[in-house]
Structure 1
Amino acid sequence: MKTPLKRIFVYGFPHTYGGAGTELDHHIRVWQRLGVEVHLIPSWGTMKPIAADLLQRGVIIHEKDEWAALTPEDPILCLCNPYFLTLMPEIRQHTRRTVWMNCMTWIFDQEKAAMEQGHIALFLYQNDNVRQAHQAALRPLNGSHDIHFRTVTPYFHEADFPYIGDRPSDTFCCGRISRASPDKYARNTLRIYEGLASPVPKKGLFLGYDERCEEKIGTPSPWIRTIPNSNTLSPQDFYRQCHIILQPTNTTENWPRIGFEAMASGSVLIVDNRGGWRQMVKHGITGWLCNHERDFIYYASKMAYEPNLRADMAEAAREWGLQLGGLSASMESWEEVFAAINQLPE
C-alpha cells in the first residue's frame, strides 16, 4: 500500500472573493488540516497581502511557472485556468499526476484537446451533475482507464464572512457581486433594480463593475453605487450593507461561491433558477429562485416589505450553508480524492 499523499502543487493563486480564487484558499485550509504540504506555482504573479497570509499559514510559494520544483510523485492541480491545459507538454515532463478542476458548466476547447491527448490524469468537480455531463462528453474522446473523473465536496470557511443580523432598517440595500465581466450581468439588470419596490429608500451596490459592464446594461441610476473591484470595498463590507443579493445573470453557475458568502453573511439570495443555484438555494426557505424578470422584482420587493420573513430566511440560509460547505464532510471527501490521486501512475 502506498504512503498517504504528502504534498500537493497548485497552479494558480487565491483571490479575495467569489469564484475559483476563494475556493482555492478554502481548499488549502482543508488540505493543511489533513496534513498535506501545499505548494503554489503562480500563473501570473502573487497578491502581496494574500501571499503574506499564506506564508504565515505554512504554504510554500514558488516562482511563476517553476516546474522544476515538481517530482514524478507530485500531483499538480489547477482550478479552472485553461492556460494550465496548454502547458501540459512541459508539465508532464516533470509529473504525470495532473488534476484539472473545472468550475464552469461548460467544457473548454483546451480541455477537450487535453483529453484527446491523455494529458489529464484526473478530472475533478464540485458538482456531481456537472461531472456526469462532462464525463459523458469527454469520455468518447479518450477511453483510457488511466483517466479518472471524481466529485469532491467543497469547503467554505465561514469564519471569513461573519453573520450580520442588524442591518439598517431606514434603507433597503440590494446588491450584486462578481468579477467585472459583462458575462456576469443580465441585460435587464437595471430594469429589475428599478422595478424593485421598497417602503424605505432603496440603495443599490454593484461590486465588480467597469465600462464593459456599462456598455452592456446601461448607466445605473444615482441610487446605485458601482465599484470596480474589492480593492475599494471588501466583500465583507459589501455583504454588511446588502439586505439581499439580487443577481440576475446570463451565465449558468456551477457551484457559486458567492452563494456561500451571502448565506454566511445574512444577505438573502435572489438568483436564477438554473445551474448550481438549484442545489444551493431552497426556494422560499433559504432564498428565491427566479424564472423571469418579474420573479426577481416580486421576490426582491417581498423582502423589502417583509423584514421578519427576510430575517428568518437569512438565518435558515446560514444553517443550510454550514451543511453544504462544512469542514468534516469536505475533509472526508478530500481524503478519498487524495487516496485516488496517490494511485495515479507516475
Structure 2
Amino acid sequence: MNRHNHVFVIGLPGDVGGANTECWHTIRMWRRSGPAVTLVPTWSPDERWAERLRSAGCRVATASPGRLGDVPGLRGAPIVSFCNSRFLRHADRFRRLGCRIVWVNCMTWLFAEERKHYRRSGPFDAYVFQSRYQLSQLLPQLQRYGVRPDQCHLVRGAFCPEDFPFCPRAHVPGEPLVLGRISRAAPEKFAADTWAVYASAGGPIRARILGWDQNVEEKLGRPPEWAECLPAGADEPRRFLGSLHAMVQLSGGAEENWPRSALEAMAAGVPIVAENRWGWQEMIRHGETGFLCDTREEITQWIDRLSQDEPLRLEIARRARTALVEELAEWRTIWAGWRQIFEEVGLECTD
C-alpha cells in the first residue's frame, strides 16, 4: 500500500445537523494533530464555510463528480465522508481513483444509497462508529455485505468544548424552569407526548424548542402558550442553550447514537434528562452527570427535583462538564482512534 501524508474529506461541514458539526470538530482535531486536510465539496462550495476551513489551515478543492481525477493528490489517497448521501451516489468514482474510503455513518440505520453501493461494489475500507449501541445495530447489517469486524472502529465524535463556555443559567425556586431541546426538524426526533410530559411538572415551566417545522407541529400539535418553537438554525446553539435550565429530549422513534446537542448542553452547563436507552446510556451517568429515565413519571420527578434543588442542578452541570472535557471529548483519546484508522488506510501520521 502506498503511503500518503494528506487526507481528503468529501463534503463540507455545516451549521445544522450532527454529522455536519461533527465533521467540523473532527477536522479541527486532526489539524491540531498534524495531518494535512483537503475538503472536496459535494458538489458546489459554500464560500462562507470554504473560507472558514482555509482559516483553519485546510485546503478546499472544487470539482464536479466527473472531474474528480483533476483534484491534485486525490488519486490513491485516503478519503473520509461523514454521513453524506451525495458522496454515496458517486462513491464508485473514488474507488476507480484508487482512494481508500473511511465511512462515518452518524445514524443507527443504513442509507438506501449505502445499501445500493454495497450490493454493487462491496464494502468500504474502514468504518467509524461513535457509540457501542450504534455498532451493535449496524455491524450485523454490514456483515451481510461483507464488512469484517476488524474494519470497524469505535471512536467517539470529536467535540471542542471551548466553543461552549460553561455558564449555567441561574434558577430561583418558584420561578419558571425553562426546559428545552435542540435537534433537526424531523418528526421521528420528537415524542408525540412531549407537551404532556413537560406540562406534568409540578412547578411552573417554560419550554424552548430549536428545530421546529410544520411536520413536527402536525405530530405534536400546536405549541402551548408557554412554549417557544424556533426553526433549525434560527438561533446559535450556544446562545440558545444559555436560555435553558434543563434539556429534556424525548425521541419519537429515532434511536439516538451519540447526540451532539447533548455534548453541547454538557459543555454549556445545562443538565440533561433523557430516556434510559440507546447512546444516552454511554454518554450519561445517572445521578452524576445527568438523569436517565425508564418512564414518563421518572422524567417528571427529575424535572421537579431540578426545579426545587438548585445546588443539585448546578452540581450535575459541573460534573457533566468535567466528564465531557476529561472523558467523552478528550481529544488525545479520540485522535488515537483516528490515527489507527489512518495508518490502516495508508496515511502517514508523524506525531
Query: What TM-score results when the alignment is normalised by the length of structure 1?
Result: 0.90
Alignment partners' CA distance in 2, 1:127 and 1:46: 31
Q: For residue 173 of structure 1, report the CA deviation from its aligned partner.
A: 0.9
Give the secondary structure class of the aligned counterpart of 1:40. Answer: strand
Tell me the residue number matched to 1:40.
39
Alignment partners' CA distance in 2, 1:246 and 1:82: 30
Query: Which of residues 161, 165, 168 in structure 1 aligns to 2:164?
Result: 161
Compare 50-59 and 40-49 and name the one that shifted more: 40-49
Q: In the superposition, relative to structure 1, how do residues 178 and 64 fare at CA in structure 2: closer, same or farther (>3 Å)?
A: farther
Alignment partners' CA distance in 2, 1:311 and 1:86: 47
Q: What amino acid sits opposite 2:59 in the alignment?
A: I
Tell me the residue number matched to 1:8.
7
Contact 1:13 1:42 in 2 (8 A): yes
Tell me the residue number matched to 1:130.
134
Alignment partners' CA distance in 2, 1:275 and 1:246: 15
Q: For residue 107 of structure 1, report the CA deviation from its aligned partner.
A: 2.2
Tell me the residue number matched to 1:279.
282
Q: For residue 233 of structure 1, report the CA deviation from its aligned partner.
A: 1.2
Tell me the residue number matched to 1:256.
259
Contact 1:273 1:291 in 2 (8 A): yes
Query: Which of residues 261, 273, 283 in structure 2 aligns to 1:270?
Result: 273
Q: In the superposition, relative to structure 1, how do residues 110 and 166 fare at CA in structure 2: closer, same or farther (>3 Å)?
A: closer
Tell me the residue number matched to 2:244.
242
Query: Which of residues 335, 340, 345 in structure 1 aligns to 2:344?
Result: 340
Q: In the superposition, relative to structure 1, how do residues 217 and 76 fare at CA in structure 2: closer, same or farther (>3 Å)?
A: same
Q: For residue 274 of structure 1, report the CA deviation from its aligned partner.
A: 1.1
Q: For residue 24 of structure 1, report the CA deviation from its aligned partner.
A: 0.6
Give the number of equivalent residue pairs. 339
Query: What TM-score results when the alignment is normalised by the length of structure 2?
Result: 0.89
2:320 is equivalent to residue 317 of structure 1: yes
Give the secondary structure class of the aligned counterpart of 2:13. Answer: coil
Q: In the superposition, relative to structure 1, how do residues 178 and 91 fare at CA in structure 2: closer, same or farther (>3 Å)?
A: same
Q: For residue 144 of structure 1, report the CA deviation from its aligned partner.
A: 7.7
Q: For residue 88 of structure 1, report the CA deviation from its aligned partner.
A: 1.9
2:291 is equivalent to residue 292 of structure 1: no
Q: Deviations over 1:82-104 (max 9, x none)?
A: 33222122222223311211111
2:200 is equivalent to residue 183 of structure 1: no
Give the secondary structure class of the aligned counterpart of 1:104. Answer: coil
Q: For residue 294 of structure 1, report the CA deviation from its aligned partner.
A: 2.1
Give the secondary structure class of the aligned counterpart of 2:242. Answer: helix
Tell me the residue number matched to 1:327.
331
Contact 2:10 2:39 in 1 (8 A): yes
Compare 134-143 and 84-93 and name the one that shifted more: 134-143
Alignment partners' CA distance in 1, 2:298 and 2:113: 37
Alignment partners' CA distance in 1, 2:145 and 2:342: 25
Q: Deviations over 1:60-118 (max 9, x none)?
A: 22226452315333122111123322212222222331121111112223323333422
Alignment partners' CA distance in 1, 2:38 and 2:347: 20
Q: Deviations over 1:115-172 (max 9, x none)?
A: 3422512222122343244223322332689x82222233210010111134353442
Q: Provide structure 2 residue ranges, at least 5 long, that are not aligned to the other structure.
A: none
- Report sequence identity in percent: 30
2:61 is equivalent to residue 58 of structure 1: no
Contact 1:185 1:248 in 2 (8 A): yes
Q: Provide structure 1 residue ranges, at least 5 long, that are not aligned to the other structure.
A: none
Tell me the residue number matched to 1:195.
200
Query: Which of residues 306, 310, 326 in structure 1 aligns to 2:309?
Result: 306
Alignment partners' CA distance in 2, 1:47 and 1:318: 33
Q: What amino acid sits opposite 1:37 in the alignment?
A: A
Alignment partners' CA distance in 1, 2:147 and 2:154: 19
Quote the RMSD (CA, aligned, Å). Answer: 2.3
Tell me the residue number matched to 2:110.
107
Tell me the residue number matched to 2:20.
21
